[in-house]
């Protein structure tokens, strides 16, 4: 099973969120972890592939978590709004 690794860029973006956004992000990440452990995909999770090695996890209508997949791990890269996600994807395709 792949492990989940939190990158410093994720921590920085997470720390900028409001308390409510942090709570919602944490709950989404718990559901993501449960999905990995149980190997079941949940419809409402909002987990989808963006490009060959990056995925998006929907926290709510505005917030997204960017996850980079490698053979042994999922890297939590960024949590942010659409414009922050687009900026990241432009720079790191």
- Give the range of the structural domain holding residue 39, as residue numbers without chain letter: 3-91
Rounded to an integer, what distance in angstroms lies between the CA atom of residue 28 and that of residue 45? Answer: 7
pLDDT in tens, 52-77: 899 999 999 999 999 999 989 999 99
pLDDT in tens, 11-59: 999 999 999 999 999 999 999 999 888 887 777 778 889 988 999 999 9
Contacts of 41 by beta carbon, 8 Å cutoff, 6+ apart: 35, 47
pLDDT at 39: 80
Q: What is the CATH number of the domain that holds 60?
A: 3.30.2310.20
Residue 69's region, left for phi above 0, alpha for psi from -120 to 50, else beta, is beta
Rounded to an integer, what distance in angstroms lies between the CA atom of residue 75 and that of residue 43? Answer: 22
Residue 88: pLDDT above 90? Answer: no
Q: What is the mean pLDDT of the chain?
A: 91
* CA distances to 27, 35, 39, 47, 86 from 15, in Å: 16, 25, 30, 22, 20
How many structural domains compose the chain?
A: 1
């Amino acid at each position: 099973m792949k492990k989940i690794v939190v990158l410093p860029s994720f921590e920085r973006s997470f720390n900028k969120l409001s308390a409510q956004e942090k709570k919602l992000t944490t709950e989404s990440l718990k559901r993501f972890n449960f999905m990995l452990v149980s190997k079941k995909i949940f419809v409402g999770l909002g987990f989808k592939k963006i490009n060959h090695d990056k995925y998006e996890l929907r926290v709510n209508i505005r917030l997204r978590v960017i996850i980079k997949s490698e053979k042994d791990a999922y890297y939590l890269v960024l949590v942010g709004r659409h414009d922050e996600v687009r900026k990241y994807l432009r720079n790191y395709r």
